[in-house]
Amino acid sequence: MGNGAAAGAAAAAAIARATKASGVIVRLEPPDCLGIVGRQAGALVVCATGGFIKTSYKGLAFYTKSPGPLPLPSGVEVVTAQTIWIP
């Protein structure tokens, strides 16, 4: 196996491990994601430039992508990240 093929295989294995570690990740449209956030008292939301928002609910991780900021409900704890990587 050449260096390029080995590097590709290693990258694929890393992505597979990250996917297993992160569990189920659900992509929603922005209004649906905001609905999930609104169901949680004191929800934690991670936002990043580029329009990603991520939160979890009942053991599932939810995310959406928006061209601009979303109107989060009051009482939401917001963490601003440089990037969010989703495998």
Q: Which residues contact 2 (CB under 8 A, 6 or more apart)?
A: none
Whether 3 maps to a domain, the answer reads: no
Asked if 81 and 48 count as a contact pair (C-beta separation under 8 A), the reply is yes
Whether 8 maps to a domain, the answer reads: no
pLDDT by position in tens, the chain (length 87) = 566 677 677 766 666 665 565 567 888 999 999 999 998 888 889 888 776 667 788 878 888 888 888 898 899 999 988 887 776
State which residues form the domain around 54.
Answer: 24-87
Whether 6 maps to a domain, the answer reads: no
Q: How far, rounded to the nearest angstrom, does the alpha carbon of residue 87 sit from its chain's CA centroid?
A: 9
Whether 59 maps to a domain, the answer reads: yes
pTM for the whole thing? 0.67
CB contact burial 28-58 (16+ within 10 A = b; e otherwise):
eebeebbebbeebeebebbbbeeebbbbbee
State phi, psi for 34 to the nearest 5 degrees: -65, -35
